[in-house]
């Protein structure tokens, strides 16, 4: 093994971001060959790396899950008051996996989990611009001027302008099917997770306030805050696609093993 940056190694083995790995190093929780690690350190396969006094192996088996999160569950490992966590939907053997990004408590749909830090980084860092598709229901129909404003110019929020594509109609029913490859837990082949064409939903039968939103950012509650800035309330928000991964035919609360 050629020398590799310690934070990259930790991200891959612990399922954290490189920034989180640097935080662990800075907090003195990582040792290399018995000494407290320093930021910017490099290691190789002769190094003995420990986290909280437990050895981190150089070889690990990466795992990737896709879960259809129901509304009412949080993405943290700890329950918030009486609100359950999505980890209650998974067998205990998967509780070490971290969510790839988050969905807020009231949002349902596709959430990915993994122990592969590099995968999580590539799926969530803004520079990779991974496309996400949501079904959105508003409390009343969106004015055409507001739809054009969001899609063409963006809406200014406290943390900067918010711009995404808004398409009249629901994506439900237009997502290509995926094929299970085995018994529970099912496996989905990467080649079968075909990309949805958002433009295909514009003629779909939908209620008067149902829309499809396509965006490549991942800011906190961005969709809800954008519509709220224009006087609308999101009454339902459901993610159907994240990058190449499409949620179709997976019941709420169920999960499948996927390929990266």
Per residue in 132-169, pLDDT (tens digit) is 999 999 999 999 999 999 999 999 999 999 999 999 98
Separation of first and last alpha carbons in the chain: 23
pTM over 0.85: no
Clarify whether residues 193 and 245 are in a common domain: yes
Clarify whether residues 49 and 72 are in a common domain: no
Clarify whether residues 35 and 78 are in a common domain: no
The CATH number for 37's domain is 3.10.290.10
Clarify whether residues 18 and 141 are in a common domain: no
The CATH number for 242's domain is 3.30.2350.10
Clarify whether residues 182 and 215 are in a common domain: yes
Clarify whether residues 50 and 84 are in a common domain: no
pLDDT beyond 50 at 92 = yes
β pairing state of 234-242 and 245-246: antiparallel
Q: How many domains does the chain have?
A: 2
Clarify whether residues 157 and 230 are in a common domain: yes
Clarify whether residues 93 and 222 are in a common domain: yes
CA 201 to CA 205: how far, in whole Å?
Answer: 9
Range of the domain at 225: 64-258
Clarify whether residues 40 and 76 are in a common domain: no
pLDDT in tens, 178-210: 333 233 333 343 333 344 444 444 444 457 899
Clarify whether residues 40 and 82 are in a common domain: no
Q: Which residues contact 237 (CB under 8 A, 6 or more apart)?
A: 106, 107, 108, 109, 134, 135, 136, 137, 223, 224
Clarify whether residues 28 and 68 are in a common domain: no
Clarify whether residues 127 and 207 are in a common domain: yes
Among the listed residues 110, 142, 101, 159, the one whose alpha carbon sits nearest the alpha carbon of residue 232: 142
CA 239 to CA 175: how far, in whole Å?
Answer: 12
């Amino acid at each position: 093994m050629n020398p590799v940056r310690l934070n990259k190694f930790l991200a891959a083995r612990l399922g954290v971001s490189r920034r989180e790995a640097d935080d662990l190093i800075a907090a003195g929780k990582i040792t290399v060959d018995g000494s407290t690690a320093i930021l910017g350190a490099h290691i190789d396969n002769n190094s003995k790396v420990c986290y909280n006094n437990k050895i981190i192996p150089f070889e690990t088996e990466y795992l990737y899950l896709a879960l259809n999160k129901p509304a009412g569950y949080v993405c943290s490992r700890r329950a918030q008051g009486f609100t359950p966590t999505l980890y209650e939907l998974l067998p205990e053997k998967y509780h070490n996996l971290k969510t790839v990004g988050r969905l807020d408590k009231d949002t349902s749909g596709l959430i990915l989990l993994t122990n592969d830090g590099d995968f999580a980084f590539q799926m969530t860092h803004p520079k990779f611009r991974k496309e996400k598709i949501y079904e959105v229901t508003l409390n009343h129909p969106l004015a055409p001027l507001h739809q054009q404003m969001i899609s063409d110019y963006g809406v200014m929020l406290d943390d900067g302008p918010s711009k995404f594509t808004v398409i009249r109609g629901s994506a439900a029913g237009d997502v290509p099917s995926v094929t299970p490859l085995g018994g529970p837990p099912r496996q989905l082949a990467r080649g079968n997770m075909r990309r949805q064409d958002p433009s295909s939903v514009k003629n779909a039968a939908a209620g008067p306030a149902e829309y499809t939103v396509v965006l490549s950012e991942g800011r906190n509650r961005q969709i809800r805050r954008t519509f709220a800035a224009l006087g609308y309330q999101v009454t339902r928000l459901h993610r159907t696609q994240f990058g190449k991964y499409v949620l179709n035919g997976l019941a709420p609360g169920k999960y499948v093993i996927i390929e990266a």
